[in-house]
Amino acid sequence: MLRAAPAGEVLRSAPVRPRRGEPDLFADPMPARIEPCLALLKPKPPEGPDWLFEVKWDGYRLAIHRDAGGVRVITRGGFDWTPRFPAISAAAVELDAGSFILDGEAVVLDESGRADFGLLQQALGGRGGRLHAERAMLFAFDLLYLDGHDLTRMALSERRQMLEGLLAGETGAIRLSEEVEAAGAELLAHACKIGLEGIIAKRRDAPYRSGRGGDWLKIKCIQADTFLIIGYEPSSVALGGIGRLLLAAKGNYGLTYAGSVGTGFTVDSATALRRQLDRIKAQSPPVRMARKGVVWVRPKLAAEIAYRGWTHDDKLRHASFKGLREKADEAQVYRLGG
C-alpha cells in the first residue's frame, strides 16, 4: 500500500511498466505542480453543444498527486496540505492507478447536501488553523496525468472519459463532479432555486490551459468574491464585538474602500476574527477615507464575501461574511473595474 509523501518531498511519476525488459522512453515525467485552469466570470451561460456544464462547488481548489512515493494534496497557491485532508489522501491511495493528478474542489456538505464554505473553514480550524478536515471530500472535475502520461494536451471530453473510468463507483472522500445534461440557462435557474452558488461551463474540445483564458466560465447565482479587511466598527451587542467589517478591493492606484459587511457571523467566527484583527491594528486607515469609531487594521486578512450587487458608487449591496481565505488558497482579491 502507498504511504503519504513526507512534507517537502517532490513527487515523481511511477515508472511505466517496461516492455520486454526495456524502459519506456516515451513516459512523461510527472510534474511537481501544474498551475490550475481558472474560470472566467460571465453574466450568463453560453449556448450550444460545444459546452458542458457542472455545478460550481464552494470550497478549496486542490490538486491530488499520487505516484509510487505516496500522495500529495496541493492547494491552488502551491502549498502542501496533505496532512489537513486525511480522508481525501486515504481515498487517493485506494484508486486503481499507479500515478495520477486530479484537479478538483474540496468541500464540506451541509445537511441539505450543499457545499458550505463556512463549514469547511470550521473543519480546518479557521484561517491559520491546523485541524484535519476529516469531513471534507473532493469533487474531482479533471484528470491531468495518468500512469506516466501527460493528459493536458488532450481535449476535455477525452480527459473526462478517463476521469469517469478512474472514479467509477466512487462514493467516498473522492467523487466525480458530474456533467449535467441540460441547457446552461436551465441548469443555472435550477441551481439558483435550490441555493447553489452557480454553475461552470467548459469547452469540450479544449486542452487544459493554466490561467483564466476563457475555456472555463463561471456563472453565479449570488456573487461571492474576496476582499481585504481594513477595519471594524466595535459593538457591545454584536457577535464577537464586531458591528461591521470595512472592506477594500484593488483599484487603479492601490486599495479602494468597497463597503462593509455586518451579517454572516457566528459567535465563534466573530470572536476568533476579533482576536485576529486586534493583533494587526493600524494607526491610520489603509485607504483614503475618514470615519469615526473605526478600529483600523493592516490589510492582512482576506475575507470571502457574498453579495447581491454594487451600488452606483461602487459599494457592496447586501453583503454577507462567509469566512476568511487562506494564503495557501490564493484566492484573488477583487479588482474594481476589472
163: closest CA among 110, 81, 222, 104?
Answer: 104
Between the alpha carbon of residue 318 and those of residues 181, 194, 212, 261, 311, the distances in Å are 33, 20, 28, 8, 10
Strand order in the sheet with 216-220: 40-41, 216-220, 198-203, 51-55
Q: How many CB atoms lie within 10 A of CB 107?
A: 23
Pairing assessment for the beta strands 137-146 and 223-234 based on DSSP bridges: unpaired
| Fold of domain 38-55+179-221 | Dna Ligase; domain 1 (3.30.1490)
pLDDT value of position 211: 94
In this structure, the number of other CB atoms found within 10 A of the CB of residue 147 comes to 17
**Dist. CA 55–CA 92, nearest whole Å:** 22
Domains 38-55+179-221 and 223-329 belong to one CATH topology: no
pTM of the model: 0.75
* Architecture of the CATH domain 58-176: 2-Layer Sandwich (3.30)
Write out the chain's pLDDT in tens, 338 residues: 344 444 444 333 333 343 333 445 568 999 999 999 999 999 899 999 999 999 999 899 999 999 999 999 999 999 999 999 999 999 999 999 999 999 999 999 988 888 888 889 888 876 666 667 888 999 999 999 999 999 999 999 999 999 999 999 999 999 999 999 999 999 999 998 888 889 999 999 999 999 999 999 999 988 889 999 999 999 888 888 899 999 999 988 899 999 999 999 988 889 999 999 999 999 999 998 988 999 999 999 999 999 988 888 889 988 999 999 887 776 789 988 76
pLDDT of residue 116: 87
The catalytic residues are 56
Q: What pLDDT, on a 0 to 100 scale, did the predictor assign at position 22?
A: 42
- The CATH code belonging to domain 223-329 is 2.40.50.140
Domain ranges within the chain, ordered by starting residue: 38-55+179-221, 58-176, 223-329
The pLDDT, as a whole number, for residue 130 is 67
- What was the pLDDT predicted at 210? 96
